[in-house]
């Protein structure tokens, strides 16, 4: 993934889309991708992409990043009001706080984050 956030495209071209599924479909079509092509780029299935576009399921954090990387779209545009948090907001302060943790607490935090990701991927 690297530093791909710096190359995300940041304009809707004036189109208004109201929910995650519509925004995902909007960006997929704008990039000229089929559901199958997007699924392949995200190492997922066409059925999963279809379920996101129809708002039957919502992706976890890792899948959001894969979708955004595959389409070169900023996560903020894809998620908008669906997220109660912005994963990039205040990240420098958060990273600085993490860097100041003791080795023991750092390992505890890593375990906690892994558990959260595992739990999110199950849903």
Mean pLDDT along residues 1-6: 37
For 14-38, the pLDDT digits (tens) are 445 568 898 899 889 999 999 999 9
Predicted pLDDT of residue 17: 54
DSSP 56: S
Residue 122: predicted pLDDT = 77
**pLDDT per position as a tens digit, 104-115:** 988 999 998 888
Sole residue written with tokens 């890593």: 110
What is the distance between the alpha carbons of residues 95 and 123, in angstroms, rounded to a whole number?
27
d(CA 63, CA 2): 16
The secondary structure of 67-80, three-state, reads HHHHHCECHHHHHH
pTM above 0.75, yes or no: no
Q: How far is CA 100 from CA 72, 87, 90, 97, 113, in A?
A: 33, 20, 16, 5, 17
CATH class for domain 4-82?
Answer: mainly alpha
């Amino acid at each position: 993934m690297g530093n791909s956030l710096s190359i995300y495209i940041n304009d809707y071209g004036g189109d208004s889309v109201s929910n995650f599924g519509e925004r995902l479909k909007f960006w997929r079509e704008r990039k000229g991708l089929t559901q199958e092509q997007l699924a392949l780029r995200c190492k997922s299935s066409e059925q999963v992409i279809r379920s996101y576009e129809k708002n039957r399921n919502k992706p976890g954090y890792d899948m959001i990043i894969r979708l955004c990387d595959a389409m070169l779209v900023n996560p903020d545009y894809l998620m908008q009001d669906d997220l109660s948090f912005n994963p990039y907001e205040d990240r420098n302060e958060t990273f600085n706080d993490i860097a100041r943790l003791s080795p023991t607490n750092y390992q505890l935090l890593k375990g906690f984050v892994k558990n959260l990701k595992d739990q999110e991927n199950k849903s």
